[in-house]
Structure formats: structure tokens, C-alpha cells
Structure 1
Amino acid sequence: MRYEKGHKEATRRRIVETAAERFRNEGIAAVGVAGLMSDIGLTQGGFYNHFESKDDLAREALALGLEGMRARLRKAGTQSEGARLGSVVDSYLSTLHRDNVIRGCMLATLAVEAGRSEGPVRAQMSDGITEMVKLVSEFLPESIKPAQRETKAMAVVSCLIGTMILSRTTDDPKMSDRFLQAGRRAAGDLVESSAS
């Protein structure tokens, strides 16, 4: 059977997008190749026409998910210089992000699992963390000295990801909301402490 031009690329993209959603929702280890391919309406054997291994797919799915989150944060950071970081923090630590795990930040959903991994999954997650730190440093006020920018950005990223993880982990909705509020305040305090 002949397929239209671009069919293989479109199929590969569909596999990666579906995997990214399932990995966020269930974890990388819990998602099997056979079940994933079945969800898409393809056979397990077809997987190997696109990827060498599940790790290869996971690396690509992580890259897609991490770039999507960076794009959303860049969009949130298009405010005036003084409001950019606040908009990024508010966007990341929103109830919408907390409640939408399937479309949320891969760092917040898979950091712990990736920390136990080796190879391409951990390497891709490490690259994602580095890129997130660079992005946040771009949104820091210009009054923060260059020598402090990376350290300050690392602290803000830690605050964002840790807050999101804890707000999703608790089964108490009020405590979850309080974590988000406390995280927004803490991220602002981190920046203000060195901006003056």
C-alpha cells in the first residue's frame, strides 16, 4: 500500500505527541510500546519503523513537551520588563497548569522518574532544565547582576517545579491552592532579594 507524501512524518509526530501525553499522565516506565501503538491504531511492529527503542521515543517526546512549555512561558513573558517574570510565574503556577497534567510541564511531571534513569531520558531532561534556567534568567530584572542571574534563575526554577509537584501531590484542594500561592510569593521574593 502506498501512502501520501509526508505520511511517515505525520505518523511519527502522532506517536510522539501521544507518548508525550501518556508519559506525563502515567510515567515513562508505565507506558508500554504495544499499548501506545494500539491507542494510535497501529501495530507494535510499526513502532520500529520510526524509533530504535522506547528510550529513543521518550527522548523525542520529552524534547517536544519541554519545547512546548518553553513556548508557553515565552508567550507569558511578553509583558513589560518589570512584569515579565511575574507573568511567567503566574502562568506556570496556575490552577490551569496544575489541573492539566497531560499538557503540563514535563519537568514537573517526570523529574523524579528521570532522576532514576540513565541515558537519553535523563540527558534530555537535563537539557530541558538547562533551557528552563536560561529562559527564566532572560525574564529576571536587569538590575540583577550578571554573576547572580544563573543562580537566581536556578532558585526560581526550583521553586516553580517543586511547587507544582507538591500542589499536585496533596489530596487537599485548599492546601494545593496554598502551595501555588506560596510558590508565587516565594519566586517573587527570590528575585526581589537580589534586585535591590
Structure 2
Amino acid sequence: MPYTTEHKQKTRDRIVECARELFNRKGFVSVSIDEIMGHAGLTRGGFYNHFKTKEDLFAEAVIAFQNFNPADRWEGLDFDPTRCGKAHAKQMIQAYLSRSHLDDIDGHCPMIALPSDAARASPRVKQAYFDLLVRMAGIFADGLPPLDNPDDMPKEKAHQRGLALTALCVGGMVLARTFDDAAFRNEIREATQALALELIG
């Protein structure tokens, strides 16, 4: 009996999530297809029913994070994806720069866990990585207050500031996860979060 479309999609989603966790732990190059499928409870042969190459899977793992809801994975977070503007930007900062995110290696955003891998990856992976960054920057741009004029900020200026705030958040977490000293890791995270929230206002 052939599998239903729903079953195939659930299987695909499971492979993507297992791949993302393993890529986060070990990096793209160090993870094999066999390891990914084993982690998902499946055989290697099933991989090619869903993806042509490991790089295709890498791209899908990055794309999937665009729809990630932190409240589904990390307890105690007040995160409502229907919010917009400043409220959405603020909750994004609080979740992204949370202790839960920092401590959850498997659940890290690809921009934190895999920047070097993405830089060496295929154009499709780079495009997925770019789209994720632009999406995050757009959320921040929509939530940032004007610098001087209370009237509407020019789109180009808002975009620049959104990119800068994204770089602050991602860079702070990349640095924080680099060190073994838990207190210092948390100090970097808290300092980054405090400044990011101050910029949102």
C-alpha cells in the first residue's frame, strides 16, 4: 500500500529536523547521510525519495528555520508569531538571545551554528541562508523606532538598521557559544540582549 502524501511530508519533515540537529552538533561536512537517516529512524535508501543530495537537505534545514516557533521548543517564552512591529521585534530579541537558545545546541539558528558551512556551500544553500537573514532583518526593521524624526523612517535606513541589529544578535550568540566558561557565555548573551532591546526602545 503506497504511503499517503501526509505520511511522506511528515517523514520529510523528520529528516530535515534530524539533519538540522546533527549539522548543529557536528557541522555539515562531518555528518553523513547514513547518520542522518539513522537519527531519523530510517534507512539510507529512503533518503533519495525526498532529496537528491545532502546539500539539498542542508538548504531545506535552513529554510525550515524560517517557520520555527521558539515557544514550541523552549518553555517559558512568551512568543506569539501573530504579533507585528515593535512587539514582534522585541519578542524575537528576547527569544533569540535567550538562555534557552544558547544552551540548546541542537536547536540553534543556522546563522549561529553554521556560518562557515554556509559560506562554502552551494548557491541554493547560500540563498536559503540569505533569505533567513533578510527575514530576521525585516522583523527588526519593522520594529525599530526612528533615530531623529518621529515620522516614517525611509525604507533604506530601516533596512540598514535591521541588518545591523541582526548582525549584533547573531554575532553575540556566535561568540557566546564559542567559550566553555558558562558564566562568560551568559555574560556575552546578556550584554547583547540588553543592547538589542535598548535599540528597539
Q: TM-score, normalised by structure 2?
A: 0.82
CA distances 1:91-133 after superposition (whole Å, capped 9, x unpaired):
2111111001212212111122212223221221111111111
The structure whose residues are more often helix, as a share, is: 1
Q: Do 1:167 and 1:176's aligned partners in 2 also have CA atoms closer than 8 Å?
A: yes
CA gap of 1:60–1:69, structure 2 versus 1, over 3 A, is: same
Aligned match of 1:5:
4
Q: Do 2:141 and 2:158's aligned partners in 1 also have CA atoms closer than 8 Å?
A: yes
Aligned match of 1:65:
65
Backbone CA RMSD of aligned residues: 2.6
CA gap of 1:69–1:120, structure 2 versus 1, over 3 A, is: farther
Determine the C-alpha separation between the residues in 1 that align with 2:134 and 2:71.
15
Q: Give the fraction of aligned pairs with identical amino acids, expressed as a percent.
A: 30
- 1:180 Cα deviation after fit: 1.2
Determine the C-alpha separation between the residues in 2 that align with 1:92 and 1:27.
20
Aligned match of 1:88:
92
Deviates more, 1:43-52 or 1:138-147: 138-147
Aligned match of 1:36:
36
**Long gaps (5+) in structure 1:** none
Determine the C-alpha separation between the residues in 2 that align with 1:109 and 1:117.
14
CA gap of 1:14–1:87, structure 2 versus 1, over 3 A, is: closer
Determine the C-alpha separation between the residues in 2 that align with 1:69 and 1:122.
22
Aligned match of 1:163:
172
Determine the C-alpha separation between the residues in 2 that align with 1:77 and 1:166.
30
Is the partner of 1:48 in helix, strand or coil?
Answer: helix
Q: Do 2:59 and 2:124's aligned partners in 1 also have CA atoms closer than 8 Å?
A: yes
**Long gaps (5+) in structure 2:** 73-77
Q: Do 1:167 and 1:177's aligned partners in 2 also have CA atoms closer than 8 Å?
A: yes
Q: Do 2:24 and 2:105's aligned partners in 1 also have CA atoms closer than 8 Å?
A: yes
Q: Do 1:76 and 1:88's aligned partners in 2 also have CA atoms closer than 8 Å?
A: no
Please list, as runs of the form range in 1=range in 2, the aligned pairs for 1:57-136 lying within 5 A after superposition: 57-68=57-68, 75=80, 78=83, 84-136=88-140
Q: TM-score, normalised by structure 1?
A: 0.84
Deviates more, 1:69-78 or 1:45-54: 69-78
Determine the C-alpha separation between the residues in 2 that align with 1:123 and 1:19.
18
Is the partner of 1:46 in helix, strand or coil?
Answer: helix
